[in-house]
Chains A and B, each alone.
Chain A
Amino acid sequence: MATQTPTQETTEFGEVSRLKGIAFKYTSFAASIVGILALGVLLAYVFWDAFGLESAGTTWYLSYTVTLLVPLLAFFAYARTRPDVVAGAFELFSLTLGGVMLTVATVIVLSVIASPPVWFAYFLTVVGPAIGMYVYGQYNREATWVGLGILAAVVVGPVVGTLGLGTFSSLGAMLGAPGIYFLSLVLPGAGMAAFLAHDRLELSKRQSIGIGVGLPVLAIVGVPVVDMVPQIARSVWLIGLVMFGLPVGFTVVNTAQRRERWAAFAFPAIAILGFLLGEFVVGVVGATEPSPWLDWQYVTSGPSISNAAEAGLYPAIIGSVFLIVLVSVFTFVFGVGTAIYLEEYAPATGPLGTITRLVNVNISNLAGVPSVVYGLLGLGIFVNINAQLGPITYAGFGVGTVFTASLTLSLLILPIVVISAQEAIRSVPDSLRQASYGMGATRWQTIRNVVLPRSLPGILTGTILALGRAIGETAPLIMIGAATTKFSPPSGLFSKLTAMPMQIYAWAFQPSPDFRYGVVAAGVVTLLIVLLTMNSVAILVRNKYQQEAH
């Protein structure tokens, strides 16, 4: 040892220069700070305007700082070193927001886009049978006809539903909207809740059955209570119970079951109590409150072009929901289909392989094409073309209609969806495919049982992020002639629409500063809330599945 051999000389190690590395590190740091700061300033600025914070008095700020801001900051400081608490709080927060959005979207889709009896007709012919067969297939795994049955329901069901629309919808009309929602949402939702409780939350059989029975009972018992509140229709109560109640209930129980996450409950508690306490304090001391542009009136009324105080985003919100629903269906079906074909079926070598490579390169290029060009494409093929194919006349889908707009936006994000799905499929280790083929599985069995389950989180994340891009687009909508301002929401696939970014764009040109600052800012915040919610749900989905895969 060194101490026992003092005669040995000490070696000089010298020092290695790290100058370049240090310079690089701080440059990168500065670059990232600039980006984050710019975003933060923008957000603060928009929020300031949207909620009219400048008109609030000092006492108002003081009250909320004490009741809400300080407790929240304290919570963040506490949670900083506890990843479990952060994860739990994030889950509670994003699933609550997601539940609200899901409820709003469902209400809009089921009662504004399709009338309840029409929904009932398709529930009877498509959704109901498909769900029924899927559930049966889960219990009786030997039943190999289930997959085909579901496919048949999805293909044949719409035809049957359309042919028998009169009969089915008069049946639905007899039930009334609440009855329809009870049958088509609450009952399947109760089944799902019981399943989740037993399978995912690992509650006992009796508790799970209790949940399954309790949900419909709660739905019925709640009706008289809801009737006393004029703002909430019975339908909204039933839809909300399923679409908001299920995800929120699930996370609450899930969080409650994990002791290390209990502290996460402090987050909603602080937020809600702090808000109520703030309201109370402000009322008592009589502080001047802010006059927000973004309020209930804003999201429920049509756009005024003369009176900023009466302006609302309702038609544009409905238009955007229409777009999200249709675009997600189109891009998921075509995008994932294309990706699976290119990755799993298309030949990689030989002359056909050259074509595959060409297609791949082109898809990457298409992802970079400016959106205004897609608008032009949409204008060309969905609006302006007039073609006569024998007896069939194709004259496009109309200027600025829901259908034209959603097809155009689908084209715009299709390359992004395809690329991200390809990426996800490619990340499935080849050894798993080999294992499956080695067991004598067919290609379809391998895709269905090995490739898709493994790549689904990636596919979903990519699709949701791409959808976020689609709902923020303005240029393609302008190109296909969508209205910038509409006073009523679209009522069907071929009615004209406007979307949130379009309406915001239109307001930005109003001469009155109230429009240019207040109303526009409120629109931007609404759009951002929708986008951020979608993104957080995407993150949650990814984390969830990644954990399950291990």
Chain B
Amino acid sequence: MTTEDMATETEAQDEADEDSLISTDPGKGGLDENADRGGVTSGKTIIHSRDLDVFYGETQALQHIDLEIPENQVTAMIGPSGCGKSTFLRCINRMNDLIDIARVEGELSFKGKNVYDDDVDPVALRRRIGMVFQHPNPFPKSIYDNVAYGLRTQDKTDDMDAVIEESLKKAALWDEVKDRLDESALDLSGGQQQRLCIARAIAVDPEVVLMDEPASALDPIATSQIEDLIEELSEEYTVVIVTHNMQQAARISDKTAVFLTGGELVEFDDTDKIFENPDSQRVEDYITGKFG
């Protein structure tokens, strides 16, 4: 089963490879494994969770999560539905604060600072950690105003037109919308909307981009566009991505965290290690589809 997965990935990967500058290519892990390893482990830790517990009311959604997310790399989170991937993502930029019944215990540090310390302003934190949601959620405003939203709220209005153009280019959307920046963002297709949300998130130049299943509502073409984009993003940004698509995780990520039902982190390692030779039998069962 695993070998089959790898075969399809290699095919899909070839195209993307041509214009990608990224040396790490977990899809080809079987061929030059050692080179990959070297690239992956060199990353500096930017987000570090220690013994993190999250509760929704009485029920515990995450249990004792210990995780180190490396800087300027792509970290994927996989696991069955309801295992707490989104919850973990929301812990990083404190979006859980908006859920009344959510309670976080333990430590989660960003660049060495525990974001749950009393003196951390969650709004300031979110200005450094951008987020792209599972479903595209553009504002009912023009395309231009959508990308400008973060810039305006954060008072980064210098040279705004140039920044907006650059973000749209990075999100591979510029060519499609450059003639209709004044039109409503809601008139875009689902895939375009999602790329717009990505442009919106990177326009304010965050240090980390969190993505919660960004391609779940997209067709294969839009998905592969977004995957290309993520690979490019990881040159400048740290990307943490939740996905249900195992092959996608294998294709684009450097590190993979496997959560299993009950909210425990079962294994966290280099992506090729997880997909080829996981330590845990449960992880292997999950990846090969024996267990959901």
Binary contact readout A228-249 vs B (1 if CB under 8 angstroms, 0 otherwise): 0000000000000000000000
Would A438 and B155 count as touching, CB distance under 8 A?
no
Would A439 and B157 count as touching, CB distance under 8 A?
no
Q: Of B101, B153, B157, which contacts A440 at CB under 8 A? A: B153
Would A432 and B137 count as touching, CB distance under 8 A?
yes
Given contacts A141-B157, A348-B100, A550-B186, contact A442 B123 (CB under 8 A): yes
Stretch from B164-172, B197-205, B237-245 contacting the other chain: B197-205
Q: Which residue of A lies closest to B97 (CB)?
A: A437
Given contacts A349-B100, A550-B140, A550-B186, contact A440 B126 (CB under 8 A): yes
Q: How far is the CA of A439 from the CA of B197 in the complex (A)?
A: 10
Enumerate chain B residues within 8 angstroms of A440, measured Cβ to Cβ: 123-124, 126-128, 150, 153-154, 204
Q: Which of A349, A435, A454 has the most CB of B within 10 A?
A: A435
Q: Which of A141, A347, A437 has the most CB of B within 10 A?
A: A437
Q: List residues of A (414-458) whose CB comes within 8 Å of B's CBs.
A: 429, 431-442, 445, 449-450, 453-454
Q: How far is the CA of A450 from the CA of B180 in the complex (A)?
A: 22
Q: List residues of B (87-130) whose CB comes within 8 Å of A's CBs.
A: 93, 95, 98, 100-101, 123-124, 126-128, 130
Would B140 and A441 count as touching, CB distance under 8 A?
no
Chain B proximity of A19: nearest CB distance (Å): 44
B282 proximal to A (CB < 8 A): no
Q: How far is the CA of A354 from the CA of B186 in the complex (A)?
A: 38
Would A550 and B153 count as touching, CB distance under 8 A?
no
Would A438 and B126 count as touching, CB distance under 8 A?
yes
Given contacts A439-B149, A440-B123, A440-B154, contact A434 B95 (CB under 8 A): yes
Enumerate chain A residues within 8 angstroms of B174, measured Cβ to Cβ: none
Would A450 and B123 count as touching, CB distance under 8 A?
no
Q: How far is the CA of A142 from the CA of B160 in the complex (A)?
A: 10
Given contacts A347-B100, A435-B133, A440-B154, contact A550 B184 (CB under 8 A): yes
Would B133 and A450 count as touching, CB distance under 8 A?
no
Chain A proximity of B237: nearest CB distance (Å): 15
Would B101 and A349 count as touching, CB distance under 8 A?
yes
Q: List residues of B (187-217) whose CB comes within 8 Å of A's CBs.
A: 197, 200-201, 204
Q: How far is the CA of A431 from the CA of B217 in the complex (A)?
A: 15
Chain A proximity of B17: nearest CB distance (Å): 32
Q: How far is the CA of A434 from the CA of B200 in the complex (A)?
A: 13
A5 proximal to B (CB < 8 A): no
Enumerate chain B residues within 8 angstroms of A347, measured Cβ to Cβ: 100
Q: How far is the CA of A276 from the CA of B149 in the complex (A)?
A: 55
A549 proximal to B (CB < 8 A): yes
A353 proximal to B (CB < 8 A): yes
Enumerate chain B residues within 8 angstroms of A141, measured Cβ to Cβ: 152, 157
Would B133 and A438 count as touching, CB distance under 8 A?
yes
Instruction: Report the count of interface residues on A (CB-CB < 8 A).
Output: 27
Q: List residues of A (185-237) whose CB comes within 8 Å of B's CBs.
A: none
Q: Which residue of A lies closest to B138 (CB)?
A: A435
Enumerate chain B residues within 8 angstroms of A549, measured Cβ to Cβ: 140
Enumerate chain A residues within 8 angstroms of B140, measured Cβ to Cβ: 432, 453-454, 549-550
Would B153 and A432 count as touching, CB distance under 8 A?
no
Given contacts A348-B100, A440-B204, A450-B139, contact A435 B152 (CB under 8 A): no
Q: How far is the CA of A437 from the CA of B139 in the complex (A)?
A: 12
Binary contact readout A498-534 vs B (1 if CB under 8 angstroms, 0 otherwise): 0000000000000000000000000000000000000
A393 proximal to B (CB < 8 A): no
Enumerate chain A residues within 8 angstroms of B149, measured Cβ to Cβ: 436, 439, 441, 449
Q: How far is the CA of A437 from the CA of B204 in the complex (A)?
A: 13
Enumerate chain A residues within 8 angstroms of B50, measured Cβ to Cβ: none
B64 proximal to A (CB < 8 A): no
Would A437 and B126 count as touching, CB distance under 8 A?
yes
Q: How far is the CA of A450 from the CA of B138 in the complex (A)?
A: 11
B135 proximal to A (CB < 8 A): yes
Given contacts A349-B100, A435-B137, A435-B139, contact A144 B155 (CB under 8 A): yes
Q: How far is the CA of A144 from the CA of B153 in the complex (A)?
A: 10
Would A431 and B133 count as touching, CB distance under 8 A?
yes
Q: Which residue of B lies closest to A431 (CB)?
A: B137
Q: How far is the CA of A353 from the CA of B123 in the complex (A)?
A: 23
Would A437 and B153 count as touching, CB distance under 8 A?
no
Enumerate chain B residues within 8 angstroms of A445, measured Cβ to Cβ: 153
Would A434 and B100 count as touching, CB distance under 8 A?
no
B77 proximal to A (CB < 8 A): no
Enumerate chain B residues within 8 angstroms of A429, measured Cβ to Cβ: 137
Chain A proximity of B268: nearest CB distance (Å): 25
Would A438 and B100 count as touching, CB distance under 8 A?
no
Q: How far is the CA of A439 from the CA of B150 in the complex (A)?
A: 6
Q: How far is the CA of A450 from the CA of B149 in the complex (A)?
A: 10
Would B126 and A434 count as touching, CB distance under 8 A?
no
Q: How far is the CA of A347 from the CA of B126 in the complex (A)?
A: 21
Which residues of B pack against A, CB within 8 Å? 93, 95, 98, 100-101, 123-124, 126-128, 130-131, 133, 135, 137-140, 149-150, 152-155, 157, 184, 186, 197, 200-201, 204
With A434-B137, A437-B123 given, name 4 new contacts (CB 8 A). A434-B98, A439-B150, A441-B153, A454-B140
Closest 5 CB pairs of A and B: A440-B127, A438-B131, A431-B137, A439-B150, A440-B126
Q: List 10 A-B contacts (CB under 8 A).
A: A431-B135, A432-B140, A433-B98, A435-B133, A438-B133, A440-B150, A440-B153, A441-B123, A441-B150, A550-B184
